[in-house]
Amino acid sequence: MKRVIWLLGVVVALASCNKKEAAEPYVPHINPVEGLFILNEGTFTYANASLSYYDIGGDSVSNHLFFKVNNAPIGDVGQSLAKVGDDLYIVVNNSKYIYKVDAATILYKAKIDGFTSPRNMLAVSDDKAYVTDLTSPGFWSLNLNTLEKRFVETGSATEAMVKVGGEVFMSNWSNYYIAGASNNTLQVIDCESDELVGTIEVAQEPNAMVVDKNNHVWVSCSGGYEAPQDPAIICIDAANHQIVKRFDLSEGSYPNGLAIDGAGETLYFMNGGMSALNVYKMSVDDAQLPETPFITADGRLFYGMRVNPDNGEIYITDAKNYVQNGDLLRYSAAGTLISTHELGLIPSFMLFN
């Protein structure tokens, strides 16, 4: 009898310990000095997007942060990230909402819904951000204090964004959902009035943009998803909206994934077939594109790219075959692979903390 009572006591004690451990919240390791958020898209319609974090100093990755902290999934297709002050915004495309979380703890703060197909978010002031949209002819102006939004019609779907001075340049990447809309232009928006103040014709499907040391906007244009016709990399003077350089690529090329170093002097881009992209490197002052790759994929499926503004290291995501977890590849400024870390499913958008 005493032995039975003793065993019952052990079971109760173990149960109490397990209960106490389960109640302890998960605290992510978010390096406040140097780190990289990585959003894993997940499979379309499966609602299995996830958030990873790469600690640069420790050369380590933490995965599934949003789920571990909030005990809930992110949703269907993690599209992009934006950080404003102490807040991190997670844009979830097919679920049609944006999550606002604490950037240090990943704790849920708010859910902003009512979008049609949100793509990218850019803070244009301390109080306002723009959100582009794939299936609607314009963009959303979001009040960061009240989280109220209004739709601004511009006539074309919107995608990538960069801000130069008081203007935002938006790419019109797709016209699949909007008959007659443009898919070969950039639209220029006045940040104060939210009004369309200019349109710049580029090449088909402008997909990514960066700004260099001269306040020139560089845009990569795939030339069209199904049958690329006019792929190009184009440089635009933000002051007068005029094209200052245009580099046309051969048919079958697929330039995308633009990135730039911290000084705004060295441009990186991906190019090749849609399933076999290599990384190329050039000075923003060059008069022609490089002929040989700076980093070769070597069978990997390069998907996203960022350059560390402090030391020039290059971070590239490998989506593999889209059905298994991808990797983060860390390269030195000289293009040598330093380390590889497993991420989530289809790692894409990266954001420095």
- DSSP labels, 279-337: EEEEETT-SS--SS-SB--TT--EEEEEE-TTT--EEEEE-TTSSSEEEEEEE-TTS-E
DSSP 25: P
CB environment 179-188: b (16+ within 10 A), e (fewer): eebbbbbbbb
pTM greater than the 0.85 cutoff: yes
Backbone angles phi, psi at 86, to 5 degrees: -95, 10
DSSP 20: H
Alpha-carbon distance of 109 to 89, in angstroms, equals: 10
Alpha-carbon distance of 264 to 217, in angstroms, equals: 11
pLDDT tens over the chain, length 353 residues: 434 434 344 344 444 444 445 558 898 989 877 999 999 999 999 999 999 999 999 999 999 999 999 999 999 999 999 999 999 999 999 999 999 999 999 999 999 999 999 999 999 999 999 999 999 999 999 999 999 999 999 999 999 999 999 999 999 999 999 999 999 999 999 999 999 999 999 999 999 999 999 999 999 999 987 666 889 999 999 999 999 999 999 888 999 999 999 999 999 999 997 778 999 999 999 999 999 999 999 999 999 999 999 999 999 999 999 999 999 999 999 999 999 999 999 999 999 99
